[in-house]
Amino acid sequence: MNDHHWEAARLAAHELGVSIAGTPETVSLHQVSGRFLAADLETRYPLPHCATSAMDGYAVNGPGPWQLLKPLATNPGAGDEQDIAVGEAAAVVTGSLIPQGATSILRVEHSSLEGNVLSTWRDLPCGADIRPAGIEAAEGETLAVAGTLLRAGVIAAAAVSGHDELLVAATPRVHLVFTGDEVITSGRPAPGQVRDGFSPVLPQVVAALGGGECTTTRIGDTLAATIAALDSPAARAAQIIVTTGGTGFSDRDFVRAAARELDGEEVISSIAMRPGHPSMVSRLPGNRLLVALPGNPLAALMALVTVLDPMLRGACGRELEQVHTAVSATDFPALPGRTRLVPARWIASTNELDTLAPAEHVAPAMLRGLAAADAILVVGPEGTSKGAHVSYLGLPW
């Protein structure tokens, strides 16, 4: 068995995700929240599509004072246009069409009106508060690239730029299998038992990373139960199966043996990382992917960051997240053959780059440190020293 280097595992998982990507679909703007763009979002006309007033006030032509032709602004939605000659003005509101001949907008709070004579005590530059057509975006300009997560800002921009629906990536179907005779889902664990830290979290994480609605099952630690779970109708309907626990090599670990029984091919047998070394990825018949996470909670979530996040990114048409650079607040001795993933928090610093310090309580079976973390340090086998550059990933969820 050969360990995958950490970065090689990420790349392999991303490529596997690309291999199972479904056909993009067109979805109404009202239903695209949380999906990912499958094509660049481009404007269908200039933004704004016509010149408008940026303020309530008066459209004026030339230097003042001006004769006010219309003391009440026309409803912007009426589309009425008018001409104003030099020395004339017309009332406007924010969003009003700019009258032909207008050179500026005089804000109402900067104006004085006596009878129908309008004046101001301030300089009024030519073009003031006129929002020209196309100043925000030209027709055909890209507002968001393929792979962008569709949230309020992007959806609103799509609406005002002329889109009623968008082409979005298909959401891969995911099936979760929680293993462990010792795991309980409620109450206080007895000696030898542990509380389930996975089932309340993984469906939400999968959804945040682009997966579709999860199906789930819980099994005990037997080979027969594991084979049945990986070969169930729900598992056969999924494109990605995620298991928790049972990835080791003892006589109490059954996921690898079950995958072999189902003619699975191990693509990633283990990863040269700490924690999370016994993680495994297998390709099952039907082009289904099995992501086997370790049973220790922190190890499982670091493996999730390493393989499941890249896999779902690939399946949703997104690029692999780039590793970022910060300054290490502490020394990390060399750990030959292993990349360490360490939950970390930002601390105050005078460095040019921001500084990350390891969180406390970050043993493989602990989650407290991750709960307080802002990012994940990625420390190579060579280690690093205090004040030196260090790699990190953002928390994907």
Q: Which of 104, 68, 101 is nearest to 86 (CA)?
A: 101
* pLDDT band at 353; cut points 50, 70, 90: confident
Domain-terminating residue out of 289, 315, 341: 315
- Are residue 86 and residue 109 in the same domain, yes or no? yes
Q: Domain of 221: which CATH number?
A: 3.40.980.10
43: Cβ–Cβ under 8 A, 6 or more apart, which residues?
Answer: 137, 138, 139, 140, 141, 143, 161, 162
**Helix/strand/coil (H/E/C) assignment for every residue in 133-162:** CCCCECCCCEEECCCCECCHHHHHHHHHCC
Residue 389 lies in a domain: yes
Residue 1 lies in a domain: no
The pTM (predicted TM-score) of the whole model is: 0.87
- Are residue 177 and residue 59 in the same domain, yes or no? no
The predicted pLDDT at position 302 comes to 95
Is pLDDT above 80 for 186? yes
Domain that holds residue 220: 6-22+171-315
- Are residue 151 and residue 122 in the same domain, yes or no? no
The predicted pLDDT at position 80 comes to 64
**Of the ranges 80-84, 114-118, 216-220, which one carries the lowest mean pLDDT score?**
80-84
The predicted pLDDT at position 363 comes to 83
Instruction: Tally Cβ neighbours within 10 Å of residue 249.
Output: 9
- Are residue 176 and residue 257 in the same domain, yes or no? yes
Residue 321, SS3 per DSSP? coil
Q: What is the total count of domains within the chain?
A: 4
Residue 374 lies in a domain: yes
Residue 271 lies in a domain: yes
263-292 pLDDT, tens per residue?
Answer: 999 999 999 999 999 999 999 999 999 999
- Are residue 300 and residue 203 in the same domain, yes or no? yes
C-alpha to C-alpha distances, 330 to 270, 324, 338, 353, 372, nearest whole angstrom: 28, 17, 18, 15, 18
Q: Are 34 and 152 in contact (CB under 8 A)?
A: no
- Are residue 144 and residue 111 in the same domain, yes or no? no
- Are residue 265 and residue 308 in the same domain, yes or no? yes
- Are residue 156 and residue 260 in the same domain, yes or no? no
Is pLDDT above 70 for 157? yes
Q: Are 105 and 127 in contact (CB under 8 A)?
A: no
24-51 pLDDT, tens per residue?
Answer: 999 999 999 999 999 999 999 999 999 9
* pLDDT band at 1; cut points 50, 70, 90: low
The mean pLDDT of 207-221, rounded to a whole number, is: 92
The predicted pLDDT at position 368 comes to 87
What's the half-sphere exposure (Cβ side, CA atoms, 13 Å) at 361?
9
Rg over CA atoms, the chain:
30
Residue, of 335 and 212, whose pLDDT is higher: 335
Which residue reads 């003892």 in tokens? 250
91-110 pLDDT, tens per residue?
Answer: 999 989 999 999 999 999 99
- Are residue 190 and residue 300 in the same domain, yes or no? yes
Is pLDDT above 90 for 293? yes
- Are residue 190 and residue 256 in the same domain, yes or no? yes
Is pLDDT above 90 for 193? no
Cα dihedral 375, 337, 205, 368 sign? negative
- Are residue 31 and residue 157 in the same domain, yes or no? yes
pLDDT-above-90 percentage for the chain: 82
Residue 229, SS3 per DSSP? helix
Q: Domain of 95: which CATH number?
A: 2.170.190.11
Q: Domain of 147: which CATH number?
A: 3.90.105.10
The predicted pLDDT at position 31 comes to 96
Give the separation between CA 256 and CA 229, rounded to whole angstroms.
Answer: 13
* pLDDT band at 361; cut points 50, 70, 90: confident
Is pLDDT above 70 for 79? no
Domain-terminating residue out of 108, 131, 154: 131
Give the separation between CA 358 and CA 288, rounded to whole angstroms.
Answer: 36
Is pLDDT above 90 for 351? no
- Are residue 282 and residue 375 in the same domain, yes or no? no
The mean pLDDT of 361-387, rounded to a whole number, is: 91
Domain-terminating residue out of 252, 285, 315: 315
**Mean pLDDT, the chain, integer:** 93
Give the separation between CA 263 and CA 363, rounded to whole angstroms.
Answer: 34
The predicted pLDDT at position 28 comes to 98
